[in-house]
């Protein structure tokens, strides 16, 4: 970015009049270490909004948005008639924000849903009667409008009403043969859901990531990314080695992505969810072939069938 372009961004987007700390005191990517108050762009925007709606007479924290000081084009930046968050106006009357000389170039993100949002600065005092300090402390850097949205956590994702995919067995007749393939398969379709995060509408797409089959006989579970296929192209199956009654349980692990209303960006959920479904009981049997005198399909059925 050229010096002229940087100055244009700074002047056009400044919301407040404040004295910034010198450039040498800043870490460009610092996010106010040791503070749990500012965690991401959404929380930064929420804090700014709370500060605007609060009573300045009793406030002990206030915020402003202004350029990074080490992005100054030299000397002071022209502020015009901008006001600070409490409408106190230009405290020294010169309509300027004091910044130290530029010592580096701070990257400004290329945003999808609008122009970049200026960094957030914070002032704190012990008591409402105390004077505000002269310096502003850096709280959060440049961000994009699409970043200032609530984050869907793994816990949020797991609360969604995900439907367990259908578990299919082949053969599916109430019994299977011992030491023969019992084929398992399921539906790999994605699920589209609608939810709410802190008052924001959110679209969510859940996609199956892995499938875990517990065959109910104490054997090692089958974990796969394949939804399975019917015979003769089957790739997910099991050999039962003992006679008895069993059930198959399918546990599906889902990954998710979401999009907040008013944005065009899809984000990955940082975590997974699971669903589980279990088949009806069936028996593992041994069947032997033998010669008979007549067809076993005859009615009445022959005694030797």
Strands 175-177 and 282-285: parallel
**Would the pLDDT of 182 be above 50?**
yes
Query: Rounded to whole angstroms, how far apart are CA atoms 98 and 199?
Result: 38
pLDDT for 204 beyond 60? yes
Enter the CATH code of domain 154-285.
2.60.40.10
Instruction: Report H helices in 54-194.
Output: 154-158
pLDDT of 27 higher than 50: no
Selection from 163, 160, 154, 192 nearest residue 252 by Cα: 163
The percent of residues in the chain predicted with pLDDT above 70, rounded, is: 73
pLDDT of residue 76 exceeding 60:
no
CATH 2.60.40.10 domain range(s) in the chain: 154-285
Cα–Cα dist 151/91, whole Å: 37
The pLDDT tens digits of the residues spanning 118-153 come to 888 888 899 999 998 877 777 888 888 888 888 899
Element (H, E) at 257: strand 249-260
Which region among 79-83, 111-115, 246-250 has the lowest average model confidence (pLDDT)?
Answer: 79-83
- Annotate 32-71 with DSSP letters as a single string: -TT-SS--SHHHHHHHHHHHHHS-TTT-SEEEEE---GGG
């Amino acid at each position: 970015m050229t010096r002229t372009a940087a100055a244009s961004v700074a002047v056009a987007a400044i919301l407040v009049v404040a004295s910034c700390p010198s450039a040498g005191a800043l870490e460009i990517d610092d996010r106010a270490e040791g503070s749990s108050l500012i965690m991401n762009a959404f929380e930064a925007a929420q804090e700014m909004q709370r500060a605007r709606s609060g009573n300045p007479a009793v406030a002990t924290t206030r915020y402003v948005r202004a350029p990074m000081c080490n992005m100054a084009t030299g000397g002071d930046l022209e502020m015009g008639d901008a006001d600070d968050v409490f409408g106190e106006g230009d405290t020294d009357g010169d309509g300027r924000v004091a910044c130290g000389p530029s010592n580096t170039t701070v990257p400004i993100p290329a945003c999808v849903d609008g122009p970049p949002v200026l960094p957030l600065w914070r002032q704190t005092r012990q008591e409402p009667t105390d004077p505000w300090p002269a310096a502003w402390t850096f709280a959060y850097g440049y961000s994009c409008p699409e970043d200032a949205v609530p984050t869907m956590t793994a816990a949020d994702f797991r609360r969604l009403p995900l439907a367990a995919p259908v578990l299919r067995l082949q053969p599916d007749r109430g019994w299977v043969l011992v030491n023969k393939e019992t084929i398992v398969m399921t539906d790999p379709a994605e699920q589209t859901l609608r939810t709410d995060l802190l008052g924001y509408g959110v679209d969510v797409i859940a996609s199956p990531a892995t499938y875990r089959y517990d065959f109910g006989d104490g054997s090692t579970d089958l974990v796969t990314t394949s939804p399975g296929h019917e015979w003769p192209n089957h790739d997910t199956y099991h050999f039962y080695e003992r006679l008895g009654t069993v059930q198959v349980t399918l546990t599906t692990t889902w990954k998710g992505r979401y999009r907040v209303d008013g944005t065009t960006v899809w984000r990955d959920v940082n975590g997974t969810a699971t669903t589980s479904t279990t088949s009806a009981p069936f028996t593992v049997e041994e069947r032997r072939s033998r010669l008979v005198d007549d067809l076993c399909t005859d009615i009445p059925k022959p005694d030797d069938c």
